[in-house]
Amino acid sequence: MRDGPDISRIANLVGDPARANMLTALMDGGALTASELALEAGVTAQTASSHLGKLMEGGLLSLAAQGRHRYYSLAGPQVAAMLESIIGVAAAVGPQRTRPGPRDAVMREARICYDHLAGEHAVAMLDGFLARGVLIADGDEIRLGKSGPPHFAAVGIDTEAFRKQRRPICRACLDWSVRRSHLAGALGAAILDKIIAEKWARREAESRAIVFSPKGKMAFEKAFLA
């Protein structure tokens, strides 16, 4: 009845909550294992496997098998752009139903995004890193600047050790609330670890929100924003 490519087939793939969660978790361009994606989506491994199969068949994901791990990632920037635009519509249209309460304000300020910090503080932090040359934006990628390693070593984060991992050290991750990038990757994860370890902030129960203590916030700003 209609011409053109099968748009509903693609949209239907994104239309399932579990699959949508998986896709958004991959939006930073990274690769995650099937188990990680199952956890992210909040479903069991079998269910996740079924979903991943459908996403593969639909051409939205690409797969890199390494040993007994299978790393899934988005099939390309076009897919990421599509998800972006859907998020845009959902954000423009969604507020009608989820009224922004105090919890949401906290979420906007600081929260956990997979394993790193997100929200206004995270965006400000990345801005600061880039402004001071601690990190350098290289197109889509982010690299350590010359002053990077000593800067992080001063607060007890060994960037040299990251190089041994397969995981990229720095990665930009789009922040839905601020609409700009924050820092993901191994370094982003290490910074979050430090925030938790130093007890500068604590996780809200049953939520992804992060609440800084007054003293913790000052220490955090001194360490990463100065």
Partner DNA sequence: CTCATACTTCGACGCTAATCGAACCGTCCG
Partner DNA sequence: CGGACGGTTCGATTAGCGTCGAAGTATGAG
Strands 116-118 and 135-138, bridge-based pairing: unpaired
Which partner in DNA, a copy of itself, none is near 49 (CB below 5 to 8 A by kind)? DNA
> Please, which residue, 60 or 157, has the CB nearer to a copy of itself?
60
Which partner in DNA, a copy of itself, none is near 6 (CB below 5 to 8 A by kind)? a copy of itself
Binding mask 140-179 for a copy of itself (x = CB under 8 A): ------------------------------------xx--
Considering just the CA atoms, what is the radius of gyration of the chain in Å?
A: 19
Return d(Cα 23, Cα 12) in angstroms, integer.
13
Handedness of CA 32, 36, 41, 47 (dihedral sign): positive
Q: Does 4 bind a copy of itself (CB under 8 A)?
A: yes
CB 136 within 8 A of CB 142: yes
Tally of residues, the chain: 226
How many other C-beta atoms can be found within 10 angstroms of the C-beta atom of residue 49? 16
Residue of 214, 176, 208, 205 lying closest to 192 (CA atoms)? 208
Which partner in a copy of itself, DNA, none is near 137 (CB below 5 to 8 A by kind)? none
Return d(Cα 18, Cα 192) in angstroms, integer.
26
Which partner in a copy of itself, DNA, none is near 85 (CB below 5 to 8 A by kind)? a copy of itself
């992804």: which residue's tokens? Answer: 208
């191994």: which residue's tokens? Answer: 186
Q: Does 100 bind a copy of itself (CB under 8 A)?
A: no
Q: Does 60 bind a copy of itself (CB under 8 A)?
A: yes
> What single letter denotes the amino acid at residue 176?
W
- Indicate the burial class of 48 (C-beta count within 10 angstroms; 0-12, 13-18, 19 or more): buried
Among 11, 45, 153, 218, binds a copy of itself (CB under 8 A): 11
Least CB distance to a copy of itself at residue 67 (A): 27
Return d(Cα 4, Cα 53) in angstroms, integer.
25
Handedness of CA 31, 53, 14, 38 (dihedral sign): negative
> Please, which residue, 57 or 84, has the CB nearer to DNA?
57
Which partner in DNA, a copy of itself, none is near 10 (CB below 5 to 8 A by kind)? a copy of itself
Query: How many positions of this chain bind a copy of itself (CB under 8 A)?
Result: 56
> Please, which residue, 33 or 62, has the CB nearer to DNA?
33
Residues that bind DNA (CB under 7 A): 12, 16-18, 33-35, 43-54, 67-70
Binding positions for a copy of itself, rule: CB under 8 A:
1-17, 19-21, 24-25, 40-42, 58-60, 75-76, 78-79, 81-94, 96-98, 107, 111, 113, 118, 176-177, 208
